[in-house]
Amino acid sequence: MRNPFGGRPPAVHRIVVGLGNPGDGYAATRHNVGFQVAARLARRARIEFGTKAAESRIAEGALGGVKFAVARPQTFMNDSGRAVAKLLDRYRLGPEALLVISDDIDLPLGRIRLRESGGSGTHNGMRSIVGHVGEAFARLRLGVGPVDLKVEIGDLAEYVLSPFAVDERTLLDEMLQRATEASEVALRDGVRMAMDRFNGG
């Protein structure tokens, strides 16, 4: 248990942050696939989100001998960086210990893309994190765009806050499973190993 009077924080090697918006109304939306992968990863490690700290819901455990925390920020998406900065401070880790999982409108549904670092692109949550902690963290992007990228999306905010269609759910489930596996490999064997294995699919 954490010492209520201070001292060393809980020891973890890595932090996995799944991005999303808190609240049941957002749970099934495209913007919340990061939350969904975080939940699956926690189940795989048989841990629960029992800690409320750093403006996040946190579960702590281990996979493959690697101690990690998986967090779902309770700030809204556009302010994710505030929670991530607090998580790094809580565990006394640098951005290189992070893996951030987010949706990506520029990837078709079913595709995932893992990178060791990079910019924020058009994602407001990633932009907030980069603004708070810089670009030197790994990120796993999950495609939520139309399978046919020639399809016009219309209003971007409305699209990412909409739920998946019934005929998209099989592909969604396969993507979430693949992203959970990629997250575990990144934790256990390193991001580059996970990139080699999962970026080609």
Note the pLDDT of residue 8.
61
Is the residue at 135 inside a domain? Answer: yes
Nearest CA to 41 out of 77, 10, 70 is that of: 70
| b/e code 113-122 from CB counts within 10 Å (16+ = b) | bbebeeebee
Does some domain include residue 9? Answer: no
Q: Which domain holds residue 55?
A: 14-198
Mean confidence (pLDDT) of the chain: 91
> What's residue 2's pLDDT?
47
Band of residue 197 on the pLDDT scale cut at 50, 70, 90: very high
Structure tokens at 155: 């209003």
Give me the CATH number covering residue 39: 3.40.50.1470
Catalytic annotation present for 13: no
Q: Is residue 114 part of a domain?
A: yes
82 class by beta-carbon count within 10 Å (0-12 exposed, 13-18 middle, 19+ buried)? middle
Backbone φ and ψ of 108, nearest 5°: -70, 150
Decide if 5 is inside a domain: no
- 2 lies in a domain? no
143 falls within a domain: yes
Count of domains forming the chain: 1
- Catalytic residue from among 13, 31, 123, 132: 31
Structural domain contains residue 48: yes
Share above pLDDT 70 across residues of the chain, in percent, rounded to a whole number:
94
28 falls in which pLDDT band (50, 70, 90)? Answer: very high
Residue 192 within any structural domain of the chain: yes
